[in-house]
Structure 1
């Protein structure tokens, strides 16, 4: 759970997206991550009685940025943060890699994580001041048991970005841009047939979704036990895909090849 002093409100929007309202409960100052549906976000802002100071946009796709303009119109002093490499609507404050932004006592750090789009940026909320774990708002970089499609990047690029995320520590809470848990876990279970952590998480997610509950957050430590896109170094996954490291092939080049094959199969799985 998020630490005391911070409230993280997942707002389900469109068919399977999440926007997140992140509140410093001490000052009632708030930020929103990826506000695609401005009405849903505005309703949450009013219900919580908070002041919106910042919009953090992970990337340009409309289902993550569609509400930027109307929310800025309504909240005049609100700033829009994101990468200058993505054509993010209403961008006021371009962020560089590792740049930090404070909203009340909340400190967000931008992580440049290209792959899904050229300028994709994930955001890490520092849990330190609240005595809790960091929170990763991963957009379409990383989902529960999945990763984003490679629209504007190579498998090598995506692998490097996932490695950046995995450098955050196992207790980090993952808040992804979509509710894809059931689909991703089902796909993963077809790859790794004998993975107890995966089977357990799949059963849990099925129950959650049956009860119309969110599957967020998971932890990065957990993700490493069942997310195939984070298991490219695992011999059991490599064997399941029928892939072997070539003599003289760099380990990261091989991992990128594993990631490419998992992504190819996932795209085919999604198309059926």
Structure 2
């Protein structure tokens, strides 16, 4: 049976993800940066919080943990370097949560301790701020090579994998993507569809990995058109795919 996953909007553009098995009240939340919207979602859906998953240490992903732990004796799964984590997990670990197996993936780049939770049977991935719909996270701590390797690992997952990222950045990400690949028809069509969704106040995530592979320049650094755009922007030849990624990421930072 597929998980039921509730989207919890928070702050200006964050999403927390609340998931549970159909017919079960025990639920887990991913990256709870604020307790209030999580408590409201639990009450609205008549669910009990059974645990928390954390992808990295930024405040908008962990800020609600303390308040959510009050009166609850529940595990917090995440990188060992985060003080609130009670069940440290790392690359290669597997968890059985809400009747579903999750594999822990190390995906450094945005931060050095960033992890993702991949459920191969669903399939889906809670990827925090590593991969976004149409984009990827900024490099606050890691190197372009690290981030490219992390994104390449995600790109190798099944194409039907649903991508649950942590921010509603899709429309601005796709504006940049169109600057990189103006002749990409799939990208142009996605950008139009996303614009209409945002005009209606609708969310644009989750996406699928297939969509990202077809339209996200940060997964397409090996594509000839993306490489050519990066070389024109940099004014130099770029033989290495990680270098293409580095140029595209820096270009986005200035876009």
Common fold by TM > 0.5: yes
- Name the counterpart of 2:189: 200
Partner residue, 1:175: 164
Give 2:50's aligned residue. 53
CA distance in 1 between counterparts of 2:96 and 2:50 reads 10
| TM-score (normalizing by structure 2) | 0.95
User: Aligned pairs, how many?
Assistant: 251
Residue 44 of structure 1, CA deviation: 0.5
Corresponding residue to 1:109 among 83, 103, 106 = 103
Q: Which residue of 1 aligns with 2:253?
A: 267
Where does residue 9 of structure 2 map in the other structure? 12
2:90, 2:115 within 8 Å by CA — same for their partners in 1?
A: no
The superposition leaves residues 210-241 of structure 1 with CA deviations (integer Å, 9 ceiling, x where unpaired) of: 11110011111110111010001001111122
Partner SS, residue 70 of structure 2: helix
Gapped runs of 5+ residues in structure 2? Answer: none
TM-score when normalising by structure 1: 0.89
Matches of 2:136 and 2:88, distance apart in 1: 24
**Is the contact made by 1:238 and 1:244 (CA closer than 8 Å) also made in structure 2?**
no
- Give yes or no for the alignment of 1:79 onto 2:75: yes
> Displaced runs of 4+ in structure 1, greater than 4 A?
none
Q: Is the 8 A contact 1:57 1:80 kept in 2?
A: yes
**Pairwise CA RMSD:** 1.3
Determine if contact 1:5/1:26 at 8 Å carries over to the other structure. no
After superposition, the C-alpha distances for 1:41-76 in whole angstroms (9 at most, x for unaligned) are: 0110111112211110010000111101110114x2
Q: Per-residue deviation at 1:106? A: 2.4
Q: Distance in 2 between matches of 1:262 and 1:33?
A: 29
Matches of residues 1-272 of structure 1 in structure 2 within 5 Å? 4-74=1-71, 76-85=72-81, 88-126=82-120, 128=121, 133-242=122-231, 244-246=237-239, 254-269=240-255
CA contact (8 A) 2:238 2:244 kept: no
